[in-house]
Amino acid sequence: MKYFKRNIDSALLDWAKSTDRKPLLLRGARQVGKTSAVRHLGESFENFVEIDLNERTDLHSLFAPQLSPQQICDGLSIAVGKKITPGTTLLLLDEIQACPEAINKLRYFYEKFPELHLVATGSLLEFALENLPSFGVGRIESLYMYPFSFEEFAAATNNDLLFDAIKTASFQNPLLPVIHEQALDLFKIFLSIGGMPEVVATYVKNKNLFDCQKVLNTLINSYKTDFVKYRKRIDPTLINDVWMSVAEQGQGKFVYSLVSRELRSETIRQALQTLVLAGLVYPVVHSSSNGLPLGAEVNRKYSRMILLDTGIMQRLLNLNLTEFLLAKDFSTINKGALAEVFVGTELIKSAPFDSQAELYCWHREDKTGNAEIDYVTEFEGKVLPIEVKSGSRGAMQSLRLFLTQKKLSQGWRVSLENFSQYGDISVVPLYAIGWTMKKSSFK
């Protein structure tokens, strides 16, 4: 499959060039392109050695406690028939979770063999790391990878000029209407197929949306098959039910009783946390948002849950694709939840690669009525509220209330509208939210 440029490529290259480099864990959900990204990095090396520890169980014994990193590499070289030379070889240990001894050995590569370029990945890596909370603190680096962002999708589909126009637009200088409509058309396609690499590659190959749906169905089935592997103590049927419920509940607080009225909340919570650990679901946690950091004032009893990908969400919900692509307002299609999921995932993808991004929201219930801000984030060193609108119109009472209550000078409304400004509220088109968040100098 053709490799499409990913934003994480530059971070991987910076790691490879660093003189103070540590063994690298490339982390993220299965099928988001981790192995492909490392293979692409390997093209810049004289030698690239890839070892799948799930397939090569015969090599697990090489990671025995008594063997040094140099001895391990000598053994691996002989086993695969490729010389592993520090400085010129990139070594990839794929599916490293299959060999816990290899995970424990990573820190020793930093201490005793730092000149070697070593990357580890794994489809169930987070579950293994959960049982090793302090295995490599200060001795191992992590980068986090996600499905394609809209920016990456635009590049993969040769819409670089269109995205360049988006980059140069501003609240005071919106896109020309014809370019804005073109961006919306591409955005709708991305929203419907999502950013999973195999789906993107399928679309680029033949522009057939229904072929993309078939690939999405296959991906969903493969994830469901994985549910058995996640945690043996949790019923995979329950994990599937919770996953479906995340898609179906869409907006608002995630309600456990909507999954099952018979099961205890704790049982459902464990299944939900399993999906979060697998990277298939992202929590959006309430923050009082009185200042930074937002994580200092959280209330996890109020949490929304969103899926990692809009394409997977629309297939789970079996949405009418034709109706979706022709719609001028998404509020009639799953009540705009897809737009909220898109914004949440774009916020995550726009965050620095070296830390696991977190999402926050704000919610208030009292006698005067409810108010909710879809996302609250940090922008230019300040608290920034973001209200998502699935159409091009809608009231902004909650956003204005939040700005007044928190004494803030700026809020964003993200919608199908072009760039514009309503006093202290700036309008960001849905397709531009990821790029806008990445550029703190954006005005």
One-character DSSP codes across 391-428? SS----HHHHHHHHHHT-S-EEEEESSPSEEETTEEEE
Angle, alpha carbons 266-268-269 (nearest 5°): 60
* pLDDT tens string 16-50: 999 999 999 999 999 999 999 999 999 999 999 99
Give the pLDDT confidence of 408-429 residue by residue, as tens digits: 999 999 999 999 998 999 999 9
On the question of pLDDT at 371 being above 80, the answer is yes
Instruction: Record the tokens describing residue 160, joined without a space.
Output: 């670089």
Is pLDDT at 330 greater than 70 in this prediction?
no
Nearest to 411 by CA among 294, 440, 251, 422: 422
Q: Where are the beta strands (DSSP E) in 196-297?
A: 281-287
Q: What is the Cα gyration radius of the chain? A: 23
User: What is the C-alpha to C-alpha distance for residues 232 and 238, in angstroms, rounded to an integer?
Assistant: 12
Here the tokens at position 49 are 């050695």
Task: Enter the pTM of the model.
Answer: 0.94
- Report the pLDDT averaged over residues 79-93: 97
- Reported residue count of the chain is 443
Q: What is the pLDDT of residue 442?
A: 35
Check pLDDT > 80 for residue 9. Answer: yes
Q: How confident is the model at residue 166 (pLDDT cuts 50, 70, 90)?
A: very high
What the block records as the tokens of 47 is: 């030698």
Query: What is the pLDDT at residue 441?
Result: 37
